[in-house]
Amino acid sequence: MSFKLEAYTNARHNVLTQLNQISKLYNERREHHKTEEINELYNDIEQNNFQITVVGEFSRGKSTFINALLGKKILPSLARPTTTILNVISYAEEPSINLHFQDDKKTSEKIQEKDFKSLVAPKEAIQGDPASEKEYEQTINYLKQIKYARIHHPLPFLKDQVDIIDTPGTNDMDPNREHITNSIIPTSDAAILLLSANKILSDSERSFLRDRLLRNDIQKIFVVINFKDDLKTEGDRQKVIQHAETELANILHTEPKIFMVSSLQALNARRKVNGEEMKTKRGRIIEPWSIEETGFLELEKELAEFLQYDRGNVKLQRPVQRSIRVIQDTLEKQIPQEKSSLTQEINGLHGKVSEFRQKLDHIKTIGDEALQKIDRKLEQKYHELTKWYEWELDQVQETGTSTFEDNKYAHIEEISRAVENSTAPLERELHTRKIKKIQDTIEEVVESNTKHLQHEWLTIDSNMNFLYNNQAESGTNNLPIDLEEKNQESFFQDIYSDLSQSWSSSSSIFNKAFVAAGFVLTGLVEGVASIVNAGLNWLFGDRESKVDKIERQLQNQFYDSKRKKKEVFKQEWKGITETVKKRYMKIIQNKINETEHQLNTLLENTQLEEAEVQERLEGLKQQEQRFHYIKQSLEETIITLEQNEKAGVVQ
């Protein structure tokens, strides 16, 4: 199997081992909140798989393509619309299939492979046979309740932390399924758009690409032309690729990278290598192409590099950097403080400690008050931002309407294309500005309402240092000047870096739905196009002119799309601000816990006998060394990741 994410997998393994060590060390130090923090980072990495989502219209060969990646016929594929639900394929030693339901309260259900196949690819009803029609309808209704199926399989391909998602074809009229496919795309690490060499880029494919895929990060879209084997000569293949390149360059505005493959041949090649003998219905042995001819190896190589160097780095760097920061604090602050508390006497210690405790209570109050202010301010900002957003949406509508005016006597498809061409870039750009505005607003609100709080913390930190060095002036609130002037990083920095993270890449497909919700499609083109489908009767049915009708439809579409977008905006805002508030409280709680821990250690240390003091000093030295060693190893990992990134940049 050529698909390997080796560098990433090694780095990941190394990081997990180190985090495990750190967690143990904090456990020894009885710093339970830190153990917990590190464990969370551990779990994040552990659960963080790469998600490759395969999209395209029905019968483009998505399921066959995935089977070929896997080297096994796992997903049903037929010459008619087949896949009905999202199938998430993940690694496990034991194969199993579980259905997860739309209703989150309902527990997932295990299903046998045989039943699964007949469920997701149900036999069509025999026309005119009520019993068979009823059965078909029941199956379809059941399918609607399913959110996704998770297929576990012990395939080496998936062992590199890859989840692969098979989606139902998009030219499907069910808006729910469309919505699921839409919301999956922005949360995936890579989307593979499958086209057919036989009918390159239909109108609906173009609009799918523009309206949905391009609303996201273009980097993660791989365009794959399937059915290579249907083109007989190399010349034909070159022609199709060139045609696709020109067409796509118009839509993408960049040089697209296109792959041509035969999924069917690749699947057969791999099945043969795996010892399967394949025969036609008449018993003739099928001789598949060699895997080199199928175009699969180039694609897999590119995919692996992309995941490894681009996505992999992002996924690992953040938790590594965060844990380095946690260790650094321990090495620079806590351990030296503890050492000095073991080696010198502190006058009037108990009194001073109880003063600190009062200060901590005070900090808690200030923190709560600041949170209330943040809450109020965010509420106010929400109204301002909504107004801003509505105004921007109106501008998009105006552009669309004036494009309509300029083109209203053209053919309806031309009208809709012109309207779409003028509005889609504006919407994309608006989405980007919206994200930035939300992030900036949150940062500004949190920072401006926590100045006092942050100042108090700095005072406590510096007093703590004095205390350990036996210089604490009881009751002093004066910061040493250099401390105040020093440009301190905000305590809440982690919140902001996490925010931009959660927009650009989500760790899990299903629990960050609010991020995905930003990509509800406008429905504009479909809406206008539906006028065509409504037929001649509709156009000539009454006195209202055709142009008026189209315009009315267009305005309805805009109205509807704005309403949806505002609703999504509200959800996004709500999701993000809730997350921010939770993290804010956690950061404060962690800092309080940390200070309390230091105070307790201090009290304990000053009561030790001489022999115990020596023992403890020895213990601290050892901890120090272990922390140093881990920190070094993590820093090396970061360097390796950066080097890999440079060496493996996907062109």
By CB under 6 A, name the binding residues for ligand GTP: 56, 58-64, 77-79, 81-83, 168-169, 226-227, 229-230, 262-264
The answer to whether 212 touches 56, Cβ cutoff 8 Å, is: no
Q: Pick from ligand GTP, Mg ion, none: which does 263 bind, CB < 5 to 8 A by kind?
A: ligand GTP
**Would you say 82 or 334 has its CB closer to ligand GTP?**
82
**Would you say 83 or 598 has its CB closer to Mg ion?**
83
The answer to whether 80 touches 113, Cβ cutoff 8 Å, is: no
- Residue 506, token pair as written in the block: 């989500």
Round to whole Å and give the CA distance between 486 and 448: 18
* Cβ 82 to ligand GTP shortest distance, Å: 4
**Would you say 136 or 382 has its CB closer to ligand GTP?**
136
- Burial of residue 135 (number of CB atoms within 10 Å: 0-12, 13-18, 19+): middle
Q: What is the DSSP letter of 308?
A: I
96-101 and 146-153 strand pairing: antiparallel
Round to whole Å and give the CA distance between 23 and 18: 9
Round to whole Å and give the CA distance between 386 and 392: 10
**Would you say 79 or 285 has its CB closer to ligand GTP?**
79
Q: Pick from ligand GTP, Mg ion, none: which does 262 bind, CB < 5 to 8 A by kind?
A: ligand GTP
The answer to whether 474 touches 354, Cβ cutoff 8 Å, is: no
**Would you say 63 or 341 has its CB closer to Mg ion?**
63
Q: Pick from Mg ion, ligand GTP, none: which does 48 bind, CB < 5 to 8 A by kind?
A: none
Which helix (H) or strand (E) is 275 found in, with range?
none
| Residue ranges binding Mg ion (CB under 5 A) | 62-63, 82-83
Q: Pick from ligand GTP, Mg ion, none: which does 512 bind, CB < 5 to 8 A by kind?
A: none
* Cβ 26 to ligand GTP shortest distance, Å: 48
* Cβ 76 to Mg ion shortest distance, Å: 7
**Would you say 59 or 403 has its CB closer to Mg ion?**
59
Which helix (H) or strand (E) is 92 found in, with range?
none
The answer to whether 396 touches 433, Cβ cutoff 8 Å, is: no
The answer to whether 37 touches 27, Cβ cutoff 8 Å, is: no
Question: Which residue from 238, 424, 453, 442 is spatially nearest to 363, judged by alpha carbons?
Answer: 453
Alpha helices (H) in 253-348, listed in sequence order: 263-273, 296-305, 312-329, 335-343
Q: Pick from ligand GTP, Mg ion, none: which does 645 bind, CB < 5 to 8 A by kind?
A: none
* Cβ 286 to Mg ion shortest distance, Å: 21
Place of tokens 């999956």: 184
* Cβ 83 to ligand GTP shortest distance, Å: 3
Round to whole Å and give the CA distance between 500 and 520: 20
Query: Quick count: other Cβ atoms within 10 Å of Cβ 393?
Result: 20
Q: Pick from Mg ion, ligand GTP, none: which does 59 bind, CB < 5 to 8 A by kind?
A: ligand GTP
Q: First CA to last CA across the chain, in angstroms?
A: 23
* Cβ 161 to Mg ion shortest distance, Å: 24
| Shortest-Cβ-distance residue relative to Mg ion | 83
Q: Pick from ligand GTP, Mg ion, none: which does 312 bind, CB < 5 to 8 A by kind?
A: none
* Cβ 90 to ligand GTP shortest distance, Å: 19
Q: Pick from Mg ion, ligand GTP, none: which does 78 bind, CB < 5 to 8 A by kind?
A: ligand GTP
Question: Which residue from 73, 78, 64 is spatially nearest to 263, judged by alpha carbons?
Answer: 64
Q: Pick from Mg ion, ligand GTP, none: which does 196 bind, CB < 5 to 8 A by kind?
A: none
* Cβ 69 to ligand GTP shortest distance, Å: 12
**Would you say 42 or 296 has its CB closer to ligand GTP?**
296
Q: Pick from ligand GTP, Mg ion, none: which does 367 bind, CB < 5 to 8 A by kind?
A: none
**Would you say 181 or 644 has its CB closer to Mg ion?**
181
**Would you say 23 or 265 has its CB closer to ligand GTP?**
265
* Cβ 169 to Mg ion shortest distance, Å: 7
Question: Which residue from 279, 441, 307, 230 is spatially nearest to 5, judged by alpha carbons?
Answer: 307
Round to whole Å and give the CA distance between 65 and 299: 12
* Cβ 46 to ligand GTP shortest distance, Å: 31
